[in-house]
Chain A
């Protein structure tokens, strides 16, 4: 405000030059970030679209011809693409749903446990800090045939199921992948929701108690509605990540037994099969699948972005 006042007291031409200077500085400060984004993200995406419209010779590198939408027709006509789409969507819906339920539970527990809160928060950060690849390895030590925790324990207790190859059967493999994802990311959900919980004033609960509302009623009509913004953003974040999932199935099962996701199919087509055109088309289709959620995310963040970039006059 004061600087604004000082600026306004300057003669008109001087004031304009201060603004111009500021604009020039701003452009210079934004340039490196925008250059990186343009060259390493925006341009490659456009190039991916171009690549996907061509067919490339496997025998003669560099030889290609324009084929229009042929690669998309092939991708959309293949059973593999639709199976991957089904796996990805199923994985996303179930794991994000479970993460919300478990994350909400954990957040409520952490909120209640006054004495142990700091300790619990530290515990909850452990799975979050573990690399996704290590998460996959961790769950392999649990489900590995003959050596894993589940098989060895079931055998030791003479319970049925000790000889089931959990990661080798459709259904079980996807369930293991979901479990691993829930383990790693429910804590993230819990921390976001806990932050939301801590923002709810105690007075609201006290007032409701005076009015005779029981715990469940207070949860339903005070806690839950006030948590909606925190939950929405956590859901959007997690849905985006789940739709893009790659490392978890890659290391856990190599995409076998009904765990092949969209990103996996595209990457395999591109790198293992060296099929640039079809691989790019699959990558673009993955991009389009995620776009809807990206749009929701930006719309939801609109208020925050506006608050950050608002001029302070």
Chain B
């Protein structure tokens, strides 16, 4: 009896998690009258929606913009975040508690409170509707997470290895670069994945700080795709676009699931 209940709960969990996404895929394979079919399989499956989105320059440009913006945010936040993470985890410095607390509190700000003034500031200094104008605010929100995760991974690296290098005449910075970074690689991968997903997902800055299709990242492009057609809703093509941007992300998450779960639970369970 208990086994049956657990088995039912497992099936319910799987259905709950996968069915909506399955229906999105199903919708993306249908055109015209098929769209109103209730069948669990598309009556006449077609890839038309997929070919049409790749012919749409707004979509391909958005893919490029997202790759540039999310890629830059990830690289920059790993680079400067690893410095800060190391300094907080290892060096003798005053005010470390305060610095980390302030950093983390930044990540709890509502993005709208920053998007509003940035809209004005970026317009004044010419960063409105530029890649850099999108990279900087995402970096500000991605950094605290990176610093926190990296600091906790760096802290678990045995000190003795670093000290041996110091005894051999290496400087602190050399020890950081040659020993801490390679040994902390799993932490770097974890933080990088989470920041990349976060930056790829970012939406509020994406629509508030851009105005032309060639500067709109994927989420903004998909949202405007939806809004532009008032009378006929291109549900099939939007679904296809949604599937295209999701499949690589799901693949990434499944390949690195251990790293990601470790990263997600770093803040919650440790300490």
A residues near B83, Cβ cutoff 8 Å: 28-30, 32-33
Binding site for A on B (CB under 8 A): 6, 9-10, 13-14, 16-18, 20-21, 23-24, 27, 35-38, 80-81, 83-84, 86-89, 91-94, 96-97, 99-106, 108-121, 136-137, 139-141, 143-144, 147-148, 151-152, 155, 159-160, 163, 166-167, 172-173, 197, 200-201, 203-204, 207-208, 218-219, 222-223, 226-227, 233, 235, 238-239, 242, 245-246, 249-250, 252-254, 257, 260-261, 264-265, 267-271
10 tightest CB-CB pairs across the interface, nearest first? A152-B38, A309-B96, A304-B271, A29-B83, A294-B108, A32-B80, A156-B38, A287-B113, A129-B253, A33-B84
How many A-B residue pairs have C-beta atoms within 8 angstroms? Tell me. 339
Q: Once bound together, how far apart are the Cα atoms of A113 and B114, in whole Å?
A: 44
Binding site for B on A (CB under 8 A): 1-3, 6, 19, 21-23, 25-30, 32-34, 36-37, 39-42, 44-45, 47-48, 51, 102, 105-106, 109-110, 112-113, 116, 120-134, 137-142, 144, 146-147, 149, 152-153, 155-156, 183, 187-188, 191-192, 195-196, 199, 229-230, 233-234, 237, 240, 243-244, 246-247, 250-251, 254, 262-263, 266-267, 270-271, 276, 279-280, 283-284, 286-287, 290, 293-294, 297-298, 301-309, 311-312
Contact A125 B112 (CB under 8 A): no
B residues near A183, Cβ cutoff 8 Å: 16-17, 20
Looking at the complex, which one of B87, B112, B121, B167 makes contact with A26 (CB distance below 8 Å)? B87
Contact A126 B269 (CB under 8 A): no
Contact A130 B249 (CB under 8 A): yes
The answer to whether residues A305 and B17 also contact, given A19-B92, A142-B23, A294-B105 and a CB cut-off of 8 A, is: no
Looking at the complex, which one of A25, A122, A147, A304 makes contact with B270 (CB distance below 8 Å)? A304
Q: Once bound together, how far apart are the Cα atoms of A29 and B250, in whole Å?
A: 34
Q: Once bound together, how far apart are the Cα atoms of A279 and B267, in whole Å?
A: 34
B residues near A133, Cβ cutoff 8 Å: 201, 203, 218-219, 222-223, 242
